[in-house]
Structure 1
Amino acid sequence: MSLHLRDVTIRAGTRTLLRDLSLTAEPSQVVTVMGPSGVGKSSLLAFACGTLAAGLQAEGRVLIDGDDITALPPHRRRLGILFQDDLLFPHMSVGDNLLFGLDPAMRGRAARRAAMQTALIEAELPGMAARDPASLSGGQRARIALMRVLLSRPRALLLDEPFGRLDAALRDRLRRVVFDAAAARGLPVLLVTHDHADADAAGGPVLELA
């Protein structure tokens, strides 16, 4: 799969945040969009997901492998997104959080639980299905959030500064976990950040917004 954004313009009233932006993320490639707060980085991801905030107007197209998904509702676009906050459900166990993310096409209790257990192993958190998310460290919670997104079988992965709240050592480790997991699945990745270390770790093309 390749992710293509074509001629994207986003406006907030009379103010133009982005104008005629185009980019392509190939399978297993991380494209980084950088820039200070307020230049439209997160709005670009929201446009791709179909969740652009009220009050913003957008033009342009979102394509996956040439299929135009711009008019599809968010749940049919199959784009996974990670934020700074892990957004785990506090009333669910770690395992139930993962099960919630599973692709609905996966049927059968045994198969679903096996997929959840495999995700825990990939996250290096085996045996933690029954844990309360509040009992995990920040890095552990971030890995569970990643696995939950990947269990939904997205066609591309969008990253909205997901490493920003972690200390330097955890940032380095989580970057590797995220980028390696995406590469193993052949996912195109679009990362927005203001941190040059994120872009360096991603190793792909970088687009700087002023």
Structure 2
Amino acid sequence: MLQLDGLRIDLGRFSLSADGTLPAGGVTALMGASGSGKSTLLSAIAGFIPPAAGRILIDGRDVSGAAPGDRPLSILFQDNNLFPHLTIAQNVGLGLRPDLRLSADQKAARDAVLARVGLEGMADRRPRDLSGGQQSRAALARALLRARPWLLLDEPFSALGPALRADMLNLLRTTALAEGMSVLMVTHDPGDARAVADHTAVLSDGAMAPAAPTAELFANPTPALRTYLG
């Protein structure tokens, strides 16, 4: 599980507090209005923003002061972070070795994950040769190849059309859970949360409400969620 123990993040005049547990073994959606701090909280969990107070624990391990690369997680951003001069195979292989000196077993694992996300036969292409959805699949493949216990997503599919986004969300859920990964997903779309999230946590008025089962939360919205939904 991912525990936020009295966490407080201060950025200038903006302050966000989070205290609670995000369950492992499924998908948790993180929702809130623009400017509520969703991406800020995700960045703090990933290690890019130091907390002003409190702790971040993953499976009981305090990672509050750990470098991003030393935390048991991977993160996908909105722009996918694919290098345009590298092939898709090389971009995905970076998930294993920055120098891309992969062993035969590592190359086999890379090729297997490319096939799993529907990119078989596209390993030698560059990002510019892929559609937006295929680029998202490549970024997801790299995260899956890293095989970290937690996968954080900062709306990486938000630029896709509704049908393609739904396809990517379903792919995310089936592949990540098949690999035993837990997912924390920032989204502004209630439909995304309803479609794939087991639990949902809402950020409002500078604080994160405890995560609750998604179906129950939308059936009986909290005041914060009701305000967000309008």
Match of 1:7 in 2: 6
Match of 1:133 in 2: 127
**Using the alignment, how far apart are the partners of 1:6 and 1:187 within structure 2?**
22
Question: How far apart are 1:111 and its partner, in Å?
Answer: 1.0
Match of 1:23 in 2: 21
Match of 2:226 in 1: none
Residue identity opposite 1:23 in structure 2: T
Q: Which moved more, 1:71-80 or 1:170-179?
A: 71-80
**Using the alignment, how far apart are the partners of 2:188 and 2:40 within structure 1?**
14
Q: Which moved more, 1:92-101 or 1:6-15?
A: 6-15
The number of residues matched between the two structures is 203
**Using the alignment, how far apart are the partners of 2:159 and 2:125 within structure 1?**
22
Match of 2:192 in 1: 198
**Using the alignment, how far apart are the partners of 2:102 and 2:132 within structure 1?**
32
Contact 1:47 1:58 survives alignment (8 Å): no
Structure 1 runs of 4+ with >3 Å offset: none
| Structure 1 unmatched runs, 5+ | none
**Using the alignment, how far apart are the partners of 1:70 and 1:152 within structure 2?**
21
Residue identity opposite 1:74 in structure 2: P
Q: Which moved more, 1:107-116 or 1:142-151?
A: 107-116
Superposed CA offset, 1:142-186 (max 9, x none): 010001011112120101112210001101100001111111122
Question: How far apart are 1:60 and its partner, in Å?
Answer: 2.1
Match of 1:40 in 2: 37
Cα distance change, pair 120–57 in 1 and its aligned pair in 2 (3 A): closer
Alignment of 1:164-179 (within 5 A): 164-179=158-173
Contact 1:25 1:189 survives alignment (8 Å): no
Percent same amino acid at aligned positions?
A: 43
Alignment of 1:148-163 (within 5 A): 148-163=142-157
Match of 2:94 in 1: 100
Say what the alpha-carbon RMSD is for the aligned residues: 1.9
Residue identity opposite 2:21 in structure 1: L
Question: How far apart are 1:202 and its partner, in Å?
Answer: 2.0
Question: How far apart are 1:39 and its partner, in Å?
Answer: 1.0
Superposed CA offset, 1:130-151 (max 9, x none): 1111110011100100010111
**Structure of greater relative contact order (alpha carbons < 8 Å, 6+ residues apart):** 1
SS of corresponding position for 2:171: helix
SS of corresponding position for 2:52: strand
